A = this chain, B = another copy of it.
């Protein structure tokens, strides 16, 4: 595996946190990351927004980057402290898309 010495963005920089904006915002953010030279992009989302992350990955793959692949999907449980101090568990997903 030979690679040129172009600056390799660290993995952390390629994380996109999926929130409450329209899905296409995250699609655009993902495409932009790839256009900026990222080899992979990780979409992270929690709770109800998990479906938006899946939508984002599917739209990127089906409509914009037919050659990319879903390299990995992880699910986990995260603990969040809410404003009143109580501890809430919430499911989370991490979808790794590879160029």
Inter-chain contacts of A32 with B (CB < 8 A)? none
Interface size on A, residues (CB 8 A): 19
A51 within 8 A of B: yes
Which 3 A-B pairs have CB atoms at the shortest separation, nearest pair first?
Answer: A73-B73, A50-B51, A54-B91
Output the nearest chain B residue to A46 by Cβ-Cβ distance: B51
Which A residues are within 8 Å of any B CB, using their own CB?
A: 47-51, 54-55, 57-58, 62, 70, 73-77, 91, 93, 95
Q: A70-B75, A73-B73 are in contact. Are A54 and B58 (CB under 8 A)?
A: no
Q: A91 — which chain B residues lie within 8 A by C-beta?
A: 51, 54-55, 58
A54 contacts B75, C-beta separation under 8 Å: yes
